[in-house]
Amino acid sequence: MLALAIRRILATIPVMAVVAIIVFSLLYLTPGDPAAVLAGEQASIEDINRLRSTLGLDQPFLVRFSQWIGGVFQGDLGISIFSQRPVMELIVQRLEPTIALTIASLFIAVTIAVPLGVIAAWRAGGLIDRMAMSFAVLGFSIPVFVLSYILIAVVSVDLKLLPVQGYVPIAYGIGPFLEHLILPALSLGIINAALIARITRTTMLEILNQDYIRAARAKGLSVRRVLIRHALKNAAIPIVTVIGISFALLISGVVVTETVFNIPGLGRLTVDAILRRDYPVIQGVILVFSATYVVVNLLIDLSYSLFDPRIKY
Amino acid sequence: MSISAITQTPSSPTGLMRIWKRYPNIIIGGAMLAIAVFAAIAAPWLGTIDPQTIAPFNRLEVPGTEFWFGGDLVGRDVYSRTIYGARISLAVGLGVVVIGIFFGLLIGILSGFVSWVDQILMRVMDGLMAIPSILLAVALISLTGASLKNVIIAISIAEVPRVARLVRSVVLQLKERPYVEAAITAGTPFILILWRHILPNTLAPLLVQATYIFASAVLTEAILSFIGAGTPPSTPSWGNIIAEGRTVFSIAPHIVMFPGIALSFTVLGVNLLGDGLRDIFDPRFVSRT
Task: Over range B166-172, report the average pLDDT.
Answer: 90
Looking at residue A197, its pLDDT comes to 92
Q: How far is B131 from chain A (nearest CA, A)?
A: 5
Q: Which residue has the higher pLDDT, B152 or B228?
A: B152
Q: B134–A252: do the CB atoms touch at under 8 Å? A: yes
- Identify the three-state secondary structure at position A257: helix
Mutate to test the interface with B, among A55, A135, A149, A279 (most CBs of B within 10 A): A149
Band of pLDDT at residue B161, cut at 50, 70 and 90: very high
Q: Which residue has the higher pLDDT, B58 or A132?
A: A132
Q: Measured between alpha carbons, how far is A50 from B150 in angstroms, rounded to an integer?
A: 26
Looking at residue B3, its pLDDT comes to 45
**What is the Rg, in whole angstroms, of the alpha carbon atoms belonging to chain A?**
23
Task: Over range B47-73, report the average pLDDT.
Answer: 67
CB B93 within 8 A of CB B79: no
Q: Is the pLDDT of residue B189 over 80?
A: yes
Q: Measured between alpha carbons, how far is B173 from B166 in angstroms, rounded to an integer?
A: 11
> Chain B: residue nearest A39 by CA?
B143
Residues 109-138, chain B: which have Cβ within 8 Å of A?
123-124, 126-128, 130-136, 138
How much of chain A exceeds pLDDT 70, in percent? 98
Residues 46-65, chain B: which have Cβ within 8 Å of A?
none
Handedness of CA B46, B49, B52, B58 (dihedral sign): negative
pLDDT in tens, A87-123: 999 999 999 999 999 999 999 999 999 999 999 998 8
Q: Is the pLDDT of residue A310 over 50?
A: yes
Looking at residue B55, its pLDDT comes to 67
Q: Measured between alpha carbons, how far is B183 from B187 in angstroms, rounded to an integer?
A: 6
Residue-range domains of chain B with CATH: 26-56+67-282 (1.10.3720.10)
CB B233 within 8 A of CB B227: no
Looking at residue A105, its pLDDT comes to 94
Q: Measured between alpha carbons, how far is A234 from A121 in angstroms, rounded to an integer?
A: 14
A16 Cβ neighbours under 8 A, 6+ residues apart: A290, A291, A294, B127, B130
pLDDT in tens, B84-141: 888 999 999 999 999 999 999 999 999 988 888 888 898 889 888 888 888 889 888 8
Among the listed residues A143, A123, A260, A264, the one whose alpha carbon sits nearest the alpha carbon of residue A194: A143
CB B79 within 8 A of CB B68: yes
Among the ranges given (A53-57, B10-14, B257-261, B277-281), the one the predictor scored with the smallest mean pLDDT: B10-14
How much of chain A exceeds pLDDT 90, in percent? 23
Nearest Cβ partner for B264 among A146, A152, A195: A146
Q: B227–A37: do the CB atoms touch at under 8 Å? A: no
Mutate to test the interface with B, among A252, A278, A286, A297 (most CBs of B within 10 A): A252
Q: Measured between alpha carbons, how far is B260 from B218 in angstroms, rounded to an integer?
A: 12
Alpha helices, DSSP H, located in chain A = 2-29, 34-39, 45-54, 61-73, 87-93, 95-122, 127-141, 144-151, 174-208, 211-218, 223-225, 233-260, 266-275, 279-307
How far lies A121's CA from each of A127, A243, B140, B274, in Å? Answer: 11, 18, 42, 21
How far lies B38's CA from each of B31, B68, B220, B279, in Å? Answer: 10, 19, 22, 26
Residues of chain A with C-beta less than 8 angstroms from the C-beta of B256? 146, 149
Q: A270–B268: do the CB atoms touch at under 8 Å? A: no
Half-sphere exposure of A112 (CA within 13 A, CB side): 23
| Per-residue burial over B91-128, b = 16 or more CB atoms within 10 Å of its CB, e = otherwise | bbbbbbbebbbebbbebbbbbbbeeeebeebbebbbbb
Q: How far is B243 from chain A (nearest CA, A)?
A: 9
Band of pLDDT at residue B283, cut at 50, 70 and 90: low
pTM, two decimals, is 0.86
How much of chain B exceeds pLDDT 70, in percent? 82
> Chain B: residue nearest A241 by CA?
B289
Q: How far is B134 from chain A (nearest CA, A)?
A: 6
The per-residue pLDDT of chain B, averaged, comes to: 82
Looking at residue B79, its pLDDT comes to 80
Among the listed residues B181, B192, B40, B228, the one whose alpha carbon sits nearest the alpha carbon of residue A276: B228
ipTM of the modeled complex = 0.85
CB A266 within 8 A of CB A95: yes
> Measured at the alpha carbon of residue A247, what is the angle toward residues A245 and A249, in degrees to the nearest 5?
95
pLDDT in tens, A115-147: 999 999 988 888 989 898 888 888 888 888 889
Looking at residue B286, its pLDDT comes to 56
Band of pLDDT at residue A276, cut at 50, 70 and 90: confident
Q: A164–B256: do the CB atoms touch at under 8 Å? A: no
| A159 Cα distance to chain centroid | 30
- Identify the three-state secondary structure at position A274: helix
Q: How far apart are the first and last CA of chain A?
A: 4
Q: Measured between alpha carbons, how far is A31 from B153 in angstroms, rounded to an integer?
A: 12
Looking at residue B7, its pLDDT comes to 46
Q: A286–B136: do the CB atoms touch at under 8 Å? A: yes
